Amino acid sequence: MQTATYRAELSARLRQVTDDIAWAVRGTIEDQAHYKPADYEWSMHEHLSHLRDMEQEVYLPLLRWATVPEMLDPLDYSRRDWHNFRYKPMEPLASIVGDIQRIRDEELAIFRDMNDVTWMRYRNDTRWGPLTCQWIAELIYRHALDHLQGMMALKQDVNLATLQPPPIVVGGYIGGRT
């Protein structure tokens, strides 16, 4: 009973963090989506796109592999390869969010349909190290939270910048324009 309860609660949190991510980027315009405080940091768009890529390329395949014996072990993941080859800076945020929601629905359906034995089955025959479906769900949740936190920090910067008063001009502009 306790395992099923935890699985149900974690699944609800996965749904909630997915909804929170959609809420965080809703209404964000392109300039805001690509804002970076420094060149080496990620924009909201990059956070969101990377989150989708990890769900699509690693987490969902890893979950399928852990629950369906004939599935292939997911490939290794490289953020550099994602950024250099799969990242599309002009892709609309709504499209990325839609993909994340679709993938999350599939993950949640897998979690919902499994029994406690599958949820807790210990696998150590993977290059990912020892894992269970519970560990995968916790990893998915933690990763989503990490990127939500980064996107919210950027949203705070953008929202604060929009409220910054314009510079005060004493004596008018050169050339007489106001």
Domain for residue 164, yes or no?
A: no
pLDDT digits (tens, 9 = 90+) for 19-36: 999 999 999 998 999 999
Give me the long-range contacts of 151-158 (CB less than 8 A, separation at least 24). 151/21, 151/24, 151/25, 151/44, 151/47, 151/48, 152/24, 154/35, 154/36, 154/37, 154/43, 154/44, 154/47, 155/24, 155/28, 155/32, 155/44, 157/35, 157/37, 158/28, 158/32, 158/35
117 lies in some domain: yes
**pTM of the full structure:** 0.89
CATH of the domain at 147: 1.20.120.450
pLDDT per residue as tens digits for the range 29-57: 989 999 999 999 999 999 999 999 999 99
In this prediction, residue 164 carries a pLDDT of 81
Full residue range of the structural domain in which residue 115 is found: 2-155
Q: Is residue 70 in a domain?
A: yes
Count of domains observed in the chain:
1
165 in a domain, yes or no? Answer: no
Q: Is 172 among the domain residues?
A: no
Task: Assess if residue 132 is contained within a domain.
Answer: yes
Q: Is there a domain that residue 21 lies in?
A: yes
pLDDT, position 163: 86
Instruction: Report yes or no on 171 lying in a domain.
Output: no
Q: What pLDDT was estimated at residue 172?
A: 62
